[in-house]
A = this chain, B = another copy of it.
Amino acid sequence: MADVARAAGVSSATVSYVLSGKRPVAAATRAAVEAAIAELHFTVNVTARNLRTGSSSLVALIVPDIANPFFAQLAATLQEELRGLGLHVVVCSTRARRDEEQALLAEAVQQRFAGVVITPFRLKPGDFQFVADSGMPLVVSADVSFGPIDLVTPDARVATRRALERVAAQRRRIAMIAGPRDATGGDPRLEHLRALALQFGMSLPHELVVRGEHTREAGAAGFRELMSRRYRPDAVFCGNDVIAVGAMDKAHELGIDIPGEVALIGHDDASFASLVRPQLTTIRYPAADVARAAARLLTERLEGRKVHKTVHVKAEFVERATV
């Protein structure tokens, strides 16, 4: 602030009045201060907030995989929503590794970021304690709760039921390519599918669940494994769309017709779900809605809300061409 005052040839108090709007300032003086601020490469928003709280204008979005377009969409909408507050979203990718998740959270606290939105993969609830202690606003976007922390989480009951209904009409043997066993909170998408399948007279036996990372490679490997089973599935649910695209790669390579021989169902509706051919049938978890909910929770925290909140975002069955 002293730099700005010096450059504009006014007192620090005047700069403060211009920024806070608490007292009227002559137009010419205001213009000089704003020019000085622009010259010094600060935006009014950023400077004002720094003066207020000492925190930066950066909000970290910490995700397992930056190459998954679901997170790119989440990032883009989060940035839209927070722009009005003068906040910038920076995206950090952890490769689903706990040490990187920890390091990035620590860095965000140390650098006094304005807030963090995180999709944890291998963090445990206890890993968040130091963030809470720091007072930095934090929102978790995940299928499970990580303790008394603001949470955006899917409500996929209706969507999963509709997907199963559609599958049950023509298929008998469902399988799943799920995430890794050591992901925090297990795999709610799997548990959910298994519970609902029973209601449709189908089971999801352990030998038809294969596990791997949320990657295209793991999707390909998982699909190959399932196709080699004696009790071969005729419908495969995937933990997310990235896995599903990997499964499609492998089906193509093996000459297995989708949906003729095997139905395939993704999760998320990432941008490429409608680019691949055949277009992917999937359970849409709307990234833009998730981002809007996270932005709202973050904003409320910045405005002083103290109690934690959970927002459910509805998933939706999107029927395309792979079932």
Residues of chain A whose beta carbon lies under 8 Å from any beta carbon of chain B:
41-43, 46, 56-58, 60, 66-67, 69, 72-73, 75-76, 79, 88-93, 95, 100, 102-107, 109-111, 130, 245, 271-272, 275-277
Contact = CB atoms under 8 A, between A and B. Distances in A.
23 contacts: A41-B105, A41-B109, A41-B110, A41-B130, A42-B110, A46-B110, A56-B110, A56-B111, A58-B90, A58-B107, A66-B91, A67-B72, A75-B93, A79-B95, A88-B92, A88-B100, A89-B92, A90-B91, A91-B92, A272-B272, A272-B275, A276-B277, A277-B277
A114 to B, nearest CB: 11
Contacts of A75: 66, 91, 93
Nearest to A68: B72
Contacts of A271: 67, 272
Given A75-B93, A90-B92, 11 more contacts: A41-B102, A41-B110, A56-B107, A58-B111, A75-B91, A88-B92, A88-B104, A89-B92, A91-B93, A272-B275, A276-B277
User: Top 9 A-B pairs ranked by shortest CB distance?
Assistant: A90-B90, A277-B277, A41-B106, A67-B72, A91-B91, A90-B92, A275-B275, A66-B72, A275-B276
Contact of A69 (B67, B105, B111): B67
A30 B104 CA distance: 24
The quantity of this chain's copies bound in the complex is 2
Contact of A93 (B42, B60, B76, B92): B76
A56 B41 CA distance: 19
Q: Give the most central of A66, A89, A272, A276: most B CB within 10 Å.
A: A66
B88 A275 contact: no
A264 B88 CA distance: 36
A44 to B, nearest CB: 11
Given A72-B67, A275-B272, A88 B103 contact: yes
A67 B56 contact: no
A258 B135 CA distance: 56
Contacts of A88: 92, 100, 103-104, 107
Given A67-B73, A92-B88, A57 B107 contact: yes
Nearest to A100: B88
Given A46-B107, A66-B76, A277-B277, A90 B41 contact: no
